[in-house]
Each structure stands twice: as structure tokens, then as C-alpha cells.
Amino acid sequence: MAEKRMVHGWRVAPATRAALLGLHPPRYEQVVAEHVTFKVGPEESAMPEVDHCLAVGMADDGLGVQALVVEIGGTTDRPDGSTWHITWSLAEGRRAKESNDVIAALGWQALAESRHIPLIPGWWTWTSS
């Protein structure tokens, strides 16, 4: 049964997304590369007021989860203790929320050059199965 959840965060602008995908090709068939999550669920605290992030690293478990690690406000550390990231691509059967586990377990590799990514703050509904 599908579950709908409210997600608060920042979207990556479509033109920026396309350029980033050219620089960092997705490894798996399901391309995500669309947002940075601040929080899932009801809004209980205000999101940081930011209009961009910096892409600084890539995580990949080699089994179907690839994530672009980003800095917001000068840090990769999210308030909940996990790492700011954009789920980049997924293999069949894998889920975006697994990016947190992959980064925590395996770490990430620094990019040769950081990239400025404009962000659009907002919220949306995410349906998971």
C-alpha cells in the first residue's frame, strides 16, 4: 500500500539538474537528482534560509544507491545527525531514504571540484510503496 508523506526541503532547478547529470552521470537506472530533504513529516521547525548548496562528494554502495553529498551553510551535517545529500540514482528495488544509510556506513568520496547548486525552497508530497 502506498504511503503519502509531506517533504520539506529544496528542489534543484531543472536546468541545473540537467547540467549536473552531465557532469556526474547516474550509475543506476532510476535517476532521482531532484531535491535536498530538510525533513519528512509535519513542519515543526523552520528550514534554514538558503538559496544554494555546494556539491562536495559522491557516495555509492555499488549495489544500487548513489548520492551526491552537499554542503548547506558550510556543513554537510544535517540537524538530525545525518548528511545533507541529493539522492542521485537508484537500482530497481532500492529507495531514496537508503542514501542516509549508505553515507553513514560507507562515507563518501570528495569531488575534484565543488559545484554551486541553486535551490528552490518548498514542500511536496512523496508517495512511497
pLDDT tens string 84-105: 999 999 999 999 999 999 999 9
pLDDT score recorded for residue 2: 62
| Tens of pLDDT, residues 33-57 | 999 999 887 766 788 899 999 999 9
The pTM is what? Answer: 0.91
**Mean pLDDT (whole number) for 104-127:** 92
- d(CA 38, CA 18) in angstroms, rounded, equals 22
The pLDDT of residue 111 is above 90: yes
pLDDT score recorded for residue 128: 60
Q: Mean of the per-residue pLDDT values for the chain?
A: 92
pLDDT score recorded for residue 129: 52
Phi and psi dihedrals of 17, rounded to 5? -60, -50
The residue among 41, 24, 45 whose CA lies nearest residue 33 is: 24
Chain mean position to CA 58: 11
Instruction: Report H helices in the chain.
Output: 14-23, 98-106
The domain segmentation of the chain, as residue ranges, is 3-41+53-122
Residue 55 three-state SS: strand
* CA distances to 75, 81, 98, 119 from 29, in Å: 30, 29, 16, 24
- d(CA 80, CA 71) in angstroms, rounded, equals 15
The pLDDT of residue 65 is above 80: yes
- Mean pLDDT lowest for which of 3-7, 13-17, 49-53? 3-7
- d(CA 121, CA 127) in angstroms, rounded, equals 19
